[in-house]
Amino acid sequence: MLLIECPWCGKRHETEFRYGGEAHIARPEKPEDLSDSEWANFLFMRTNTKGVFAERWYHANGCRQWFNALRHTVSHEFIGVYKMGEKPPVSVQGSEDR
């Protein structure tokens, strides 16, 4: 059972949240210029990190705000939460297990 700290509401039960998957997948600036393989990469290909993972959560049964979180995908420990549009508080690359 996860206890998730919403940046607005504080620590709440996991059942109040919806999961949004991998964070920081930027919407293409010029969608009309994308090749099929670039679309595939944007839409479907995922990092699926084993280790510290930047992901999105939505406080659906609360303040209804989206936010980002860093969470370890083996221990499930939350490293930190931060608002949409912000950079991760610690480097994700350097702390990966693999």
Selected range binding other proteins among 25-33, 42-50, 59-67, 83-91, rule: CB under 8 A: 42-50
Of 19, 28, 31, 86, the one binding other proteins by CB under 8 A: 19
In this structure, are residues 91 and 17 in contact, taking their beta carbons and an 8 Å threshold?
no
Q: Is 61 in the site for other proteins (CB under 8 A)?
A: no
Dist CA 65 CA 42 (whole Å) = 23
With the CA atoms of 90, 91, 94 and 96 taken in that order, what torsion angle do they form, in degrees rounded to the nearest 10? 80
Of 46, 64, 83, 87, the one binding other proteins by CB under 8 A: 46
- Secondary element (H or E) of residue 52: strand 52-58
Residues that bind other proteins (CB under 8 A): 1-2, 14-15, 18-19, 21-22, 36-37, 39-41, 43-50, 53, 55, 71, 73-76, 98
